[in-house]
Structure 1
Amino acid sequence: MTRPTPAPKPSAPTGTSAAHVPLRWVGPLRISGNVAVTETEVPLATYESPLWPSVNRGAQISRTVDAGIRTTLVDERMTRSVLVEADTAETAYAAARAVHDRLDELRAITRATSRFAELLAVRHEITGPLLFLRFEFSTGDASGHNMATLAADALLGHLLAQVPGIRYGSISANYCTDKKATAINGILGRGKNVTAEILIPEAVVAARLHTTAARIARLNVHKNLVGTLLAGGIRSANAHYANMLLAFYLATGQDAANIVEGSQGITLAEDRDGDLYFSCTLPNLIVGTVGNGKGLDFVQENLTALGCREDRPVGDNARRLAVLAAATVLCGELSLLAAQTNPGELMKAHTRLERLTGARDAR
């Protein structure tokens, strides 16, 4: 009996992601820095409808400052850790020294696995007879998960054949660390390390944010720093980086689970004679403009509109995407903290905006 050919699935409707998550463009944001100088809208896919106007308020403020949001890309690397086992800690330590003595040949092996992978460094940790090796790679315009794993697999096989006294433990050893909140990622970084900062004049703080620099700086210390410390946060002190990152990741075809380490970041706020200095530092921004998830039509359209599909040197499109993500985080973080300095403002905004969205969606 011939099975009927299933009907093709309809494409995602305009204005939604492939998973039918509502998507809107907000902005434009004005940014400058060592990667990009631009004004551009950004796409955010989210069910949390107040996020769009919140980020948009931060974007409006960015346009009141000549330099806008200054973004600085500090570092970039993708990591993969492997585990090898020995019989004693002494043997594991000897193996670790042998690995570091072979860096040139390990770099050659890495290049053979991909046109874009480069081995930047190797770090190790020894616990009893267990040797953890953390390989750090540059991966071009890809976020680099698969590229790093492919290279690590080749490196591991080579080391098991060449270094005496060790045997296979695992291709992934949780010392990377992938999609988990850890101290090592906050300290050493995984993905793009970006700081976004802005200096907002006192008059703009009063008119657009309805607060003062002193009140925002005070709240940031009490809420983001002390509150997070009391909660046991790991290398993190912010209000809601995950909200902006998830919406940005879904709209641009990123691996959404990377918001776990991506949302580890630190917000700083200072009162500078009435003006507000505000910054967001994100050491674990894992984004790419090629690779898995980037072939979807709506993702390609969004990346093109963001200027992240241009003919640039390898890696520059992904760097641009990373600084746009960091600037978007700053916009939403700034708006939320400002709202929380005023009693009742946050809940009133949520109630009003969610009711408006709900009524519109029900029609």
Structure 2
Amino acid sequence: MNDPGTFSTEVPTRWVGPLRISGDAIAKGEPYAEVSVPLATYETPLWPSVGRGASISRELDAGIRTVVVDERMTRSSLFVADSAIGAEAAARAIRERLSELEQLVAADSRHARLIEVHPEIVGNLLFVRFAFTTGDASGHNMATKAAEALMERILSWGLGLDYGSISGNYCSDKKATAVNGILGRGRSVVAEMLIPHEVVGRRLRTTAQQMADIVVRKNLVGSTIAGALRSANAHYANMLLAFYLATGQDAANIVEGSQGITYAEAREEGLYFSCTLPHLIVGTVGNGKHLAHVDAALERLGCREEREPGANARRLAVLMAATVLCGELSLLAAQTNPGELMQTHLLMERKGRQSA
């Protein structure tokens, strides 16, 4: 580093696992894959907590089952009309000429593709939320560049619009909003497990019914009375930040990434447990990915392979979702037993200081 004002901040990092994971994005053509994951955190008890979930996944035939539901990056541009009537007429014209806008983006970028235009009108203001696929990049800059070209083209049509802002906050970037969960932003992933009753009792020291109850009472009801926004989970942010820092992601994206819903059922076969993460904004190329330790981590995770555009980023998103499930499962299980969470936390921290 030549800049004297630039220096590195050390964050303790450990590889945890392996996790056993199934699903097309991670184990195409195979029953499952087993992959260890890097977690960079000062809260070192996170490592054994995620490790417990990971070891449980290896007792199950399919491990953690995963599916990528959707993927997109958005930029909402703001136009100003003379009136609401003018804004609505312009919105109709933009939708009617969608194919022209799609061709414009495709001609200007190797990877960005326009897949949706969603207008919203507030008074004389026209917000247009553009959604793109962005290959293996998280796509912030790619979406902004494409949106600039789209705004220029739309303003050239003579629709009575003026420039408002390249980004009108309806995207919505690094803010906890409802729109990202509803319309999508980033990779949307669901991770799930079906854990036999015997494993729940032996490894988690609880029952399927206790787990289902705490998910409803704590995560769903507790989050609702707290005013949570499309979010009902115990601590997704812990696992995500640790994974983001270790793999060169824009850590501020955990603001929206940690919005998600944990769901559980006590079934005849055992505990059904799932984590739904609707907007994981992650990539395997772009800013931060050139750093040596990040490149090495992505290589070890299998996210540097020659695959179709987007496949490496989907693999990374699935690994993150599975890691979140491991940590969420372990923490909630501890909270079903009085005193276990704090006692375990203190024990792990004490061990960590002794080994340092």
Short-chain TM bin: over 0.9
> Does structure 2 retain, via aligned residues, the 8 Å contact 1:245–1:329?
yes
**TM-score (norm. length: structure 1):** 0.94
Q: Which amino acid aligns with 1:278?
A: F
Residues 282 and 7 of structure 1, relative CA distance in 2, 3 Å threshold: closer
> Does structure 2 retain, via aligned residues, the 8 Å contact 1:193–1:282?
yes
Q: Secondary structure at the match of 1:104?
A: helix
| Residue aligning to 2:18 | 28
> Does structure 2 retain, via aligned residues, the 8 Å contact 1:213–1:274?
no
Deviation, 1:112, is: 2.7
Deviation, 1:358, is: 2.5
Alignment of 1:1-363 (within 5 A): 19-37=9-27, 38-273=33-268, 275-361=270-356
Q: Which amino acid aligns with 1:246?
A: L
Q: For the residues of structure 2 that align with 1:114 and 1:245, how far apart are their CA atoms?
A: 30
Deviation, 1:136, is: 0.2
Q: For the residues of structure 1 that align with 2:352 and 2:343, how far apart are their CA atoms?
A: 14
**Structure 2 residues not aligned, in runs of 5+:** 28-32
Question: Bigger shift: 229-238 or 347-356?
Answer: 347-356
| Residue aligning to 2:30 | none
Deviation, 1:359, is: 3.4
Q: For the residues of structure 2 that align with 1:42 and 1:291, how far apart are their CA atoms?
A: 20
Q: Which amino acid aligns with 2:96?
A: D
Q: For the residues of structure 2 that align with 1:105 and 1:230, how far apart are their CA atoms?
A: 46
Deviation, 1:354, is: 1.3
Q: Which amino acid aligns with 1:51?
A: L
**Structure 1 residues not aligned, in runs of 5+:** 11-17
Residues 6 and 323 of structure 1, relative CA distance in 2, 3 Å threshold: closer
Q: For the residues of structure 2 that align with 1:222 and 1:304, how far apart are their CA atoms?
A: 41
Identity of aligned residues (%): 66
Q: Secondary structure at the match of 2:17?
A: strand
Q: For the residues of structure 2 that align with 1:7 and 1:116, how far apart are their CA atoms?
A: 36
Q: For the residues of structure 2 that align with 1:160 and 1:251, how far apart are their CA atoms?
A: 42
**Equivalent residue pairs, number:** 350
Q: For the residues of structure 1 that align with 2:331 and 2:214, how far apart are their CA atoms?
A: 11
Residues 7 and 164 of structure 1, relative CA distance in 2, 3 Å threshold: closer
Q: For the residues of structure 1 that align with 2:20 and 2:89, how far apart are their CA atoms?
A: 52
Q: For the residues of structure 2 that align with 1:325 and 1:264, how far apart are their CA atoms?
A: 14
What CA deviation, in whole Å up to 9, does each residue of 1:2-57 have, x standing for no partner?
xxx989989xxxxxxx5310000000000001211210100000000110000000
Q: Which amino acid aligns with 1:144?
A: G
Aligned structure 1 segments of 4 or more residues deviating by more than 4 angstroms: 5-10
Deviation, 1:274, is: 5.9
Q: For the residues of structure 2 that align with 1:303 and 1:92, how far apart are their CA atoms?
A: 45
> Does structure 2 retain, via aligned residues, the 8 Å contact 1:98–1:163?
no
Q: For the residues of structure 1 that align with 2:328 and 2:57, how far apart are their CA atoms?
A: 13
Q: Which amino acid aligns with 1:189?
A: G
Q: For the residues of structure 2 that align with 1:196 and 1:75, how far apart are their CA atoms?
A: 14
Q: Which amino acid aligns with 2:11?
A: V
**TM-score (norm. length: structure 2):** 0.96
Q: For the residues of structure 1 that align with 2:156 and 2:179, how far apart are their CA atoms?
A: 29
Q: For the residues of structure 2 that align with 1:7 and 1:48, how far apart are their CA atoms?
A: 30
> Does structure 2 retain, via aligned residues, the 8 Å contact 1:95–1:163?
no
Q: Which amino acid aligns with 1:29?
A: L
Q: Secondary structure at the match of 1:162?
A: coil
Q: Secondary structure at the match of 1:173?
A: coil
What CA deviation, in whole Å up to 9, does each residue of 1:127-185 have, x standing for no partner?
00000000000000000000000000110111111142100000010000000011111
Q: For the residues of structure 1 that align with 2:166 and 2:352, how far apart are their CA atoms?
A: 46
Q: Which amino acid aligns with 1:284?
A: H
Residues 6 and 135 of structure 1, relative CA distance in 2, 3 Å threshold: closer
> Does structure 2 retain, via aligned residues, the 8 Å contact 1:69–1:196?
yes
